[in-house]
Amino acid sequence: MTGMDSCIEKVLFDENKISELVKKVGKQISEDYKGKKLLLVSVLKGSILFMADLMRAIEIPCEIDFMVVSSYGSGTRTSGKVRIIKDLGIDIKGYDVILVEDILDSGVTLSTLKQMLESREPASIKICTCFDKPERRIADITADYIGSRVPDEFVVGYGLDYDEKFRNLPYVGVLKRECYCNE
Ligand code: IMP
Ligand code: MG
């Protein structure tokens, strides 16, 4: 057992399960975006692994770009504020944009980001999230593509962090309370 594994209470998605859900979403997007000017926008850092796998599961031409936003600081609850740390490198006007996220929780981050990007006149803009926690939603937003729902628990791995750690776990698991309660 490594140091990271000992902080995991239970594994929710192992590598095989993750690969299945990514393929399912990649197939849907490949069908829906045939002939379109598809741009995948990865919202860093959490979506790095999902983005890397998803783009390989998409069988039609697409472009990619990245944004860095921050909403959490180092805690486990949203601050309700979104800060753009790195903006897109290209003008998205006329593109069919898909925002690629790691997890949709309160939805505050993505609804703010979506509004901001809509003003740049993309042809369309949709949301693809690897994981969805619908019980926690505050903002009026739903994802168009969802890998899987997750229970209302704090999960880490496959890009998801707690205090910037655990992103490199190849699976997704629930973090033990004792590993974040003493913050
Ligand atoms: P929202 O604005 O509350 O939807 O925040 C979404 C962001 O919060 C995600 O992109 C993650 O970075 C982070 N987040 C929300 N829930 C979790 C979780 O269970 N584990 C790790 N990060 C999370
Ligand atoms: Mg985070």
Give pLDDT tens digits for 42-77: 999 999 999 999 999 999 999 999 999 876 555 555
Predicted confidence (pLDDT) per residue in 32-43, tens digit: 999 999 999 999
Biggest CA-to-CA distance, the chain: 51
Q: What is the pTM of this model?
A: 0.92
Q: Name the β-bridge partners of 148.
A: 131
Q: Which ligand is closest in space to the CA of residue 166?
A: 1
For residue 31, pLDDT over 80 is answered with: yes
Ligand 1 centroid, distance to 133 Cα (angstroms): 9
Catalytic site residues?
Answer: 105
User: With a 6 A CB cut-off, is 112 part of the ligand 1 pocket?
Assistant: no
Rg (CA), the chain: 16
Best residue among 129, 160, 167, 179 to mutate for probing ligand 1, ranked by most atoms within 8 Å of CB: 160
Over the stretch 94-146, which tens digit does the pLDDT of each residue have? 999 999 999 999 998 899 899 989 999 999 999 999 999 999 999 999 999 99
Quote the DSSP letter at residue 116: H
**140: its two tokens:** 């009026």
| Res 80: pLDDT | 56
User: Quick one: what percent of the chain has pLDDT higher than 90?
Assistant: 83
Q: Which atom of ligand 1 is nearest to the CA of 154?
A: 19
Contacts by 166-172 with C-beta closer than 8 Å and gap 24+?
166/4, 166/7, 167/45, 167/46, 167/48, 167/49, 168/4, 169/4, 169/8, 170/15, 171/11, 171/12, 171/13, 171/14, 171/15, 171/18, 172/11, 172/12, 172/13, 172/18, 172/131
* Mean pLDDT (the chain, rounded): 92
Would you state the pLDDT for residue 72? 56
Q: CB of 99 closer than 6 A to ligand 1? A: no
